Amino acid sequence: MIRIFVSMGCIALLFSLLLPITQVDAQRDEGTVAAIWDFNDGNAKDSSKKGVNGNFTGKPQAVDGISGKALKFNGKSDGIKLPDSADINTGGPYTDRTVAALFNCDDVKIDDRKQVIFEEGGATRGLVIYVHDGKLYGAGWNRAEYNWNGAWPFAEVKSKRWYHVGIVIRDAAAKVENDKFEMWLDGKLIAQEKGGQLHAHSDDIGIGHLNQNTVYHDGAGAGATDVDWFGGIIDEVLVYGSAFDEADFAELASPLSVEAQGKSTTTWGHLKAQRTER
């Protein structure tokens, strides 16, 4: 009986090894990269070579982040101003879009202002990721063409803790449809809401502050310039013209696992370099 058990076990093991390995197909298409700001050189240059190089306002400080180097913003006057880009705001319409970032906010409970991580567009069309009163928001809207009033999903977050956030427009058309706008947090899908494609939106793009105009969950943001400064660290912001899936977000959020295991930022910096060079 023992020999029969071992033989059957070996046969089962051999059979399992011969089975094809099922893998989840990632949707990150490098041909659709619009910009990547990894901050590894302590500046706001676009490492994707698309030339969307930013300029500092104030003096963001280069620090050790969770993903190699990062930038620390003082919450008062530090930010990044980004130029127009046909891949981000002056082209379109954009039927697929991913914006993602790693961040660590000093104080998420500040309730007298929003703290902008990334924003593009203005009061008519745009996207924004920001922290306000203990919540992280990821929003999108297109109030002309087909009247997508907007979506503002959110999640509760804590101060002085690393998070990975992503917002996605997925296979959208020039009409409002269910489940076209998504918010992801730490590699997991947390919200699917009504949405549609994003048409050209020429108002300025910003990281770490509101550069020019947006729409917040409470209706504020229109007509605002150089306000809503982020206090804390932002690391590796990216924009793509493709809709990332669970496998893509799991990879992007992997620095959080590295941190939880007590590994060094140098270790993740090496992994990050390998990923961005592919």
For residue 259, the model assigns a pLDDT of 62
Buried b (16+ CB within 10 A) or exposed e, 66-94: bbbbbbbbbbeebbbbbbbbebbbeebbb
In a domain, 119, yes or no: yes
The yes-or-no verdict on residue 277 having pLDDT over 70 is no
Report residue 150 as tokens.
């907007």
Q: Say what the pTM is.
A: 0.86
For 273-277, what is the mean pLDDT? 47
pLDDT one-digit tens code per residue, 118-164: 999 999 999 999 999 999 999 999 999 999 999 999 999 999 999 99
For residue 258, the model assigns a pLDDT of 64
- Average pLDDT of the chain to the nearest whole number: 88
Question: What is the CATH number for 265?
Answer: 2.60.120.200
In a domain, 184, yes or no: yes
The yes-or-no verdict on residue 278 having pLDDT over 80 is no
Structural domain of residue 231, as residue ranges?
32-276
In a domain, 13, yes or no: no
CA separation for the pair 177, 173 (Å, rounded):
8
H/E stretch holding 261 reads: none
| Structural domain count of the chain | 1
For 6-35, what is the mean pLDDT? 57
CA separation for the pair 66, 158 (Å, rounded):
16
Judge contact between 163 and 183, C-beta under 8 A: no
In a domain, 3, yes or no: no
In a domain, 247, yes or no: yes
In a domain, 1, yes or no: no
E-strand ranges in 133-276 read: 135-142, 148-151, 154-156, 162-169, 177-185, 188-195, 205-207, 210-212, 225-227, 231-240
Judge contact between 124 and 143, C-beta under 8 A: yes
pLDDT one-digit tens code per residue, 251-269: 999 999 866 544 434 333 4
For residue 27, the model assigns a pLDDT of 85
Higher pLDDT, 17 or 209: 209
- Worst-scoring range by mean pLDDT, 5-14, 75-84, 105-114, 235-244? 5-14
pLDDT one-digit tens code per residue, 154-191: 999 999 999 999 999 999 999 999 999 999 999 999 99
In a domain, 8, yes or no: no
- Per-residue confidence band for 29, with pLDDT thresholds at 50, 70 and 90: very high
For residue 20, the model assigns a pLDDT of 39
In a domain, 244, yes or no: yes
Taking the alpha carbons at both ends of the chain, their separation in whole angstroms is 52
